[in-house]
């Protein structure tokens, strides 16, 4: 490569690297939200299996998974489950379900799509379509 072409090549590589970094900044939060949805879906499925089986308390391993997820990824869920014990399966299920709702709202905001709260504001009582 000639010495004249080298600066243009380096500039093009820098520009492509910058564009890739900027793209990653916009996609990473969406990927993280999808990962959190998957993790919460898995937890909810295990909690629902217990509820269907008539259990009232969580096994220690599932309780530890909920606590670990909350401690690493959801401060609001962590605060909520501190007030709950593993003996109250329904309360834990409700807390995890609410955490999933928060992630769904975050994902809708990141993807710039409407969510159920937006629809509630749009279809306020008094509108013909409101339930």
Residue 131's pLDDT is what?
A: 47
User: Per-residue confidence at 3, pLDDT binned at 50, 70, 90?
Assistant: low
What mean pLDDT comes out for the span 105-114? 85
Q: The pTM is what?
A: 0.70
Contact 65, 43 (CB under 8 A): yes
pLDDT (tens digit, 9 = 90+) per residue, 88-109? Answer: 999 999 999 999 999 999 988 8
110: Cβ contacts below 8 Å, ≥ 6 apart: 29, 30, 33
Domain boundaries, the chain: 29-111
User: Per-residue confidence at 7, pLDDT binned at 50, 70, 90?
Assistant: confident
**Closest among 115, 61, 63, 70 to 85, alpha carbons compared:** 63
């Amino acid at each position: 490569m000639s010495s004249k072409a080298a600066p243009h090549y380096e500039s093009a590589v820098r520009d492509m690297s910058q564009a890739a970094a900027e793209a990653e900044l916009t996609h990473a939060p969406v990927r993280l939200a999808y990962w959190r949805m998957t993790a919460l879906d898995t937890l909810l499925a295990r909690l629902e299996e217990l509820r269907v089986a008539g259990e009232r308390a969580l096994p220690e391993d599932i309780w530890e998974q909920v606590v670990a997820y909350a401690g690493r990824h959801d401060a609001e869920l962590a605060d909520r489950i501190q007030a709950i014990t593993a003996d109250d399966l329904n309360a834990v299920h409700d807390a995890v379900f609410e955490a999933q709702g928060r992630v769904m709202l975050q994902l809708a905001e990141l993807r710039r799509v409407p969510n159920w709260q937006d629809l509630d504001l749009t279809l306020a009582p008094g509108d013909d379509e409101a339930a």
